[in-house]
Amino acid sequence: MSEYILTESQDGVSIIRFNREDKKNALTLAMYDALTAALEEAARDPKVRVVLFTGSETCFTSGNDLVDFVNNPPTGEDSPVFRFLQALISFPKPVITAVCGAAVGIGTTMLLHSDINFAGDNAKFKLPFANLGLCPEAGSSLLMPLMMGHHRASELLLLGKTFDAQTAKEVGFLNGIHAPQEVFSVALETAKQLTAQPAAALRLTKSLLKQHQQDLLQQVLRTEATHFIERLASPEAAEAFSAFAEKRKPDFSSFD
Ligand code: COA
């Protein structure tokens, strides 16, 4: 387990918390491994009925650690980020997510695979894959257009601008928006309501809701991952990562 991923069980709810506040909860390889292990344990443990992901009242996660993208980039399906995504996508029990503050990259796309999502009115979402010289991941190139239509998905993925909780709710990422100090308790209350529901019926309902797109989603995940790995080695990504490290704006003008 990583000190940056905290887990605790409360009345049948497994709470998985990002806890690397000084780096805005950026996700390292060790954190992805810890997240995968926590999901595998929650899937195995019959006492766990629901998983609840959260960060703090000021930050959910700034997405993949950009230093890791340079030093330890994913190389294939076995890489920690892809193993985590598969564990989340195939997780059989309900998943609830409570988001406050920054939810960048996978911090937004993981919401596509969570079943019920709440956010604080301070939440700030962003999908900066193109901005970083990368491409969509986590099945977002399939699921976002399905959820919100081509034009809104294009706007969010091509421009990669920050969007607020109201917009995130309008396009379908969120079930509800609350004050930051209330989001976690609303999510936990909902999770506890689910623990009182019949567990097998919930698992079946979740799997029926997702079954129609499973094969296509797996195909899209593989295609996205292949491109994503290639893009990480591109000159555009190198410029974006250097700019982040040097705290300056990237300059893509010399690339075709
Ligand atoms: N990877 C590595 N370090 C990160 C990080 C990330 N994804 N996000 C933030 N950090 C680090 C910053 O480098 C900074 O470190 P420092 O104190 O050693 O300089 C620290 O966390 C605080 O971040 P800062 O940018 O000062 O906070 P902010 O409140 O001004 O902005 C964000 C928060 C999330 C908007 C901003 O940090 C950001 O855009 N991060 C990059 C997000 C990103 O591109 N993720 C990849 C998605 S694929």
CATH number at 149 reads 3.90.226.10
Which residues 6+ apart lie within 8 Å of 228 measured at CB?
Answer: 74, 134, 135, 137
Rounded Cα distance, 22 and 40, in Å = 27
- The yes-or-no verdict on residue 164 having pLDDT over 70 is yes
Residue 64 Cβ contacting ligand 1 at under 6 Å: yes
Residue 23 Cβ contacting ligand 1 at under 6 Å: yes
- The yes-or-no verdict on residue 1 having pLDDT over 80 is no
Rounded Cα distance, 53 and 16, in Å = 5
Nearest 5°: CA angle at 106, between 116 and 82? Answer: 105
How many residues can be counted in the chain? Answer: 256
The structural domain count of the chain equals 1
* End-to-end C-alpha distance for the chain, whole angstroms: 43
Q: Which atom of ligand 1 is nearest to the CA of 65?
A: 1
Say which DSSP state 89 is in. H
**What is the signed CA dihedral for 108, 86, 141, 72, rounded to 10 degrees?**
70
pLDDT confidence of residue 2: 81
Residue in 47, 64, 56 with CA at minimum distance from that of residue 21: 56
What does the pLDDT look like over 86-135, one tens digit per residue? 999 999 999 999 999 999 999 999 999 999 999 999 999 999 999 999 99
- Residue closest via CA to ligand 1's atom 11 equals 23
Helix axes 80-89, 214-232, angle to 10 degrees: 160
Residue 21 lies inside a defined structural domain of this protein: yes
pLDDT confidence of residue 213: 94
Residue 40 lies inside a defined structural domain of this protein: yes
Could you tell me if 119 and 112 are in contact, meaning their C-beta atoms sit under 8 angstroms apart?
Answer: no
Residue 193 lies inside a defined structural domain of this protein: no
Tokens coding 135:
């491409």
Q: How confident is the model at residue 154 (pLDDT cuts 50, 70, 90)?
A: very high
Residue 105 lies inside a defined structural domain of this protein: yes
Amino acid, res. 65: D
Q: Which domain holds residue 143?
A: 1-180+199-256
- The yes-or-no verdict on residue 226 having pLDDT over 70 is yes
Tokens coding 63:
């997405």
Residue 52 lies inside a defined structural domain of this protein: yes
- Residue closest via CA to ligand 1's atom 14 equals 23
Which pTM value belongs to this model?
A: 0.98
Bridge partners, 16 (sequence order): 7, 53
Rounded Cα distance, 187 and 195, in Å = 12
Rounded Cα distance, 28 and 80, in Å = 9
- Residue closest via CA to ligand 1's atom 30 equals 24
Which one of 20, 21, 24 would you pick to mutate in the ligand 1 pocket, going by the greatest count of ligand atoms within 8 A of its CB?
A: 24
Residue found by looking up tokens 């059989």 in the block: 92
Say which DSSP state 134 is in. -
Residue 186 lies inside a defined structural domain of this protein: no
Tokens coding 172:
């379908």
Rounded Cα distance, 168 and 112, in Å = 11
Residue 63 lies inside a defined structural domain of this protein: yes
- The yes-or-no verdict on residue 202 having pLDDT over 70 is yes
Could you tell me if 112 and 89 are in contact, meaning their C-beta atoms sit under 8 angstroms apart?
Answer: no
Q: Which atom of ligand 1 is nearest to the CA of 66?
A: 1
% of the chain at pLDDT higher than 90: 99
- The yes-or-no verdict on residue 57 having pLDDT over 70 is yes
Alpha-carbon radius of gyration of the chain? 17
Is residue 57 exposed (0-12), middle (13-18) or buried (19+ Cβ within 10 Å)? middle
Q: Which atom of ligand 1 is nearest to the CA of 137?
A: 48
Residue 208 lies inside a defined structural domain of this protein: yes
